[in-house]
Amino acid sequence: MTPDLVLFNGRITTLDRKRPVASAAAIRDGRFEAVGEDAAILAMAAPDTRRIDLRRRCVLPGLIDNHTHVVRGGLNFNMELRWDGVTSLADAMDMLRRQVAVTPPPQWVRVIGAFTEHQFAEKRLPTLDEINAAAPDTPVFLLHLYDRALLNGAALRAVGYDRDTPNPPGGEIERDARGNPTGLLLARPNAGILYATLARGPKLPPDYQLNSTRHFMRELNRLGVTGVIDAGGGFQTYPEDYEVIRQLAEAGQMTVRLAYNLFTQKPKQEKQDFLAWTRSVTYRQGDDYFRHNGAGEMLVFSAADFEDFREPRPDMAASMEDDLEGVVRILAENRWPWRLHATYDETISRALDVFETVARDIPFDGLHWMFDHAETISERSIDRVAALGGGVATQHRMAYQGEYFVERYGAAAAEATPPIARMLDKGVQVSAGTDATRVASYNPWVSLAWMVTGRTVGGTIITPPRNRLDRETALRMWTEKVAWFCNDEGRRGRIEPGYLADLIVPDRDYFGVPEAELSHLVSDLTMVGGKVVWGSGDFAALDENPLPPAMPDWSPVRRFGGYGAWAGPGATGSAQAFRRVGCGCEDACAVHGHDHVLAWGSDVPVGDHKGFFGALGCACWI
């Protein structure tokens, strides 16, 4: 068969054990037709076959996130100022002040998770006084992981919190000596107060949500992500909040393959949710770009042990087993896979009691069910998961919360949290992801670096060498091993004939860069189904995914981009392309060694910097 596209002159890591390396690949109808050496693959090409010279660059299978929240994240991405990857609080507050200056009323400035105080050189969060000084009139909401939120005075007024506002169940509003809210909200013991307060903020209109979701997917493409499993989310309704993704899928504008799990909506109504959904939704309905993937991560509210390692482990309600059994029976009878959020082994063990009870009546054979997170899963629970044919979807939440875990449980307890290497040794289905966008960043390279180096984003070594992964195993955790978690084994996750043609060309050699650089990798070329969805550097001219500017015109995405894109003092990674000059309203570009000017937020065509600066929504000219 004549291929549509031939890639050649590369250094391809296929993850196919029969042919682990290659230099060329042929693609037809969105799949790899052949993989091998240049001469054989080029000989397949017809005169009209497109050819891409890989320039001897490292090539990897496209990365797949086993647990993230792209549906929810996409609806809000353009409204959020991201501190992901910012290395100093001074830079972060400078970004905040600049965004406050352009955000019109009644809009908020929101920094919604994916950062930790430990990543800052100052090793602290901003004070409420500092936030109020930076934004006296514009509401500011800062979400720090799932443990707290900081609101300035304007945000407190916007949400209506005053001395008469009671603490909600599971949360605390800190108050001063006179009983007035200070602006600090604490999740004790769960994140309900944080979710509920954030939900009071303005939302984008539908056409802006479409634009926002496209920009979020492009940001994922920039980082090499070609597929995700969406784990639902609190205050996310089905099917209403999935309409944007449905429209993009119908229009052929999906640049990330998305398999979604349905997350129960209200406490005490979980069975009703899943009874209704199993009647109206067919498992795996959709296509390879937008497809149903089962139930969870929330199955019943009584089983949700939200992680906050600053607080003691919460005990689950006595009703957990009865609640959970009712839902799991519905899912097993309808052959729906499920995933269950479970941080602590105490929760996992109780859930396994339920699963084993149901499995005696309804065998789980062929059901790809799993636990999410499982930071403290025990040897005994690992064996029970394996016996029931389940899996464990791990994420790099410890890269952001490892210091808090050590403070509470000690360094020895953190050495295998979660015990990824041990689970792999026991043959359990295990894969990796982020749990983005609130509790950790969506950047896959931070996850890969954590598994390889054992370091948190704050630089603390948590995992000793015996529990770390080598780079190939870590890569498999983000590619072929994720396929089991969405029933796609043998279809994606490797560069192999018959597999979906998803691949990336990192800006540096993943297998060759120093460990300190792993978290700073980005993609120079990202392909999904044989289509270029991101091109930068050597491959900028190939980009087939132009986007209109981020909407609205005050969007932080226009000024600061996504992960690591801000170029303030002390910035690292891809931001090294910039140097800060003058008053900070303009920046000089050092990419080509001559003077350019960047106008953040301009709609002027980006020209020869399209590949890199296009993601930032900025313009570049001599």
So what's the pLDDT on residue 541? 96
Summarize pLDDT for 321-344 with one digit per residue, the tens: 999 999 999 999 999 999 999 999
Q: How confident is the model at residue 367 (pLDDT cuts 50, 70, 90)?
A: very high
From CA 83, how far away is CA 144, in angstroms rounded? 11
Instruction: Give the percent of the chain with pLDDT over 90.
Output: 86
So what's the pLDDT on residue 546? 85
So what's the pLDDT on residue 599? 34
Q: Report the interhelical angle of 270-280 vs 320-333 (nearest 10°).
A: 10
For the residues 368-395, what does the mean pLDDT come to? 98
So what's the pLDDT on residue 433? 98
For the residues 30-55, what does the mean pLDDT come to? 98
Percent of the chain that is helix, strand, coil (3-state, to 5): 35, 20, 45
Residue type, 464: P
Given CA atoms 491, 495, 501, 506 in this order, what sign does their dihedral have? Answer: positive
So what's the pLDDT on residue 275? 97
Q: Please, are residues 111 and 100 in contact by the beta-carbon 8 Å criterion?
A: no
Summarize pLDDT for 105-146 with one digit per residue, the tens: 999 999 999 999 999 999 999 999 999 999 999 999 999 998
So what's the pLDDT on residue 110? 98
Q: Please, are residues 66 and 431 in contact by the beta-carbon 8 Å criterion?
A: yes
So what's the pLDDT on residue 582? 26
From CA 297, how far away is CA 301, in angstroms rounded? 10
So what's the pLDDT on residue 617? 37
For the residues 196-203, what does the mean pLDDT come to? 95
Summarize pLDDT for 559-613 with one digit per residue, the tens: 999 997 654 433 333 332 332 222 233 333 333 332 333 333 333 333 333 333 4
All domains of the chain, ordered by start, with CATH? Answer: 5-62+501-542 (2.30.40.10), 68-198 (3.10.310.70), 264-469 (3.20.20.140), 556-621 (no CATH)
Mean pLDDT taken over the chain? 91
Asked if pLDDT for residue 205 goes beyond 80, the answer is yes
Summarize pLDDT for 417-459 with one digit per residue, the tens: 999 999 999 999 999 999 999 999 999 999 999 999 999 999 9
Asked if pLDDT for residue 375 goes beyond 50, the answer is yes
| Edge-first strand listing for the sheet containing 286-287 | 63-68, 225-230, 257-262, 290-295, 286-287
Summarize pLDDT for 464-476 with one digit per residue, the tens: 999 999 999 999 9
So what's the pLDDT on residue 190? 83
Summarize pLDDT for 271-310 with one digit per residue, the tens: 999 999 999 999 999 999 999 999 999 999 999 998 889 9
The pTM for the full model equals: 0.92
Q: Please, are residues 307 and 146 in contact by the beta-carbon 8 Å criterion?
A: yes
Summarize pLDDT for 390-405 with one digit per residue, the tens: 999 999 999 999 999 9
Asked if pLDDT for residue 527 goes beyond 60, the answer is yes
From CA 36, how far away is CA 3, in angstroms rounded? 14
| Helix ranges restricted to H, 410-440 | 411-414, 420-425
For the residues 17-37, what does the mean pLDDT come to? 98
Instruction: Give the percent of the chain with pLDDT over 70.
Output: 91
Encoding tokens for residue 232? 């639902």
Q: What is the 3-state secondary structure (H, E, C) of 38-82?
A: HHHHHCCCCCCCEEEECCCCEEEECEEEEEECHHHHHHHHHHECC
For the residues 176-198, what does the mean pLDDT come to? 93
For the residues 58-68, what does the mean pLDDT come to? 98
Asked if pLDDT for residue 489 goes beyond 60, the answer is yes
Summarize pLDDT for 227-239 with one digit per residue, the tens: 999 999 888 899 9
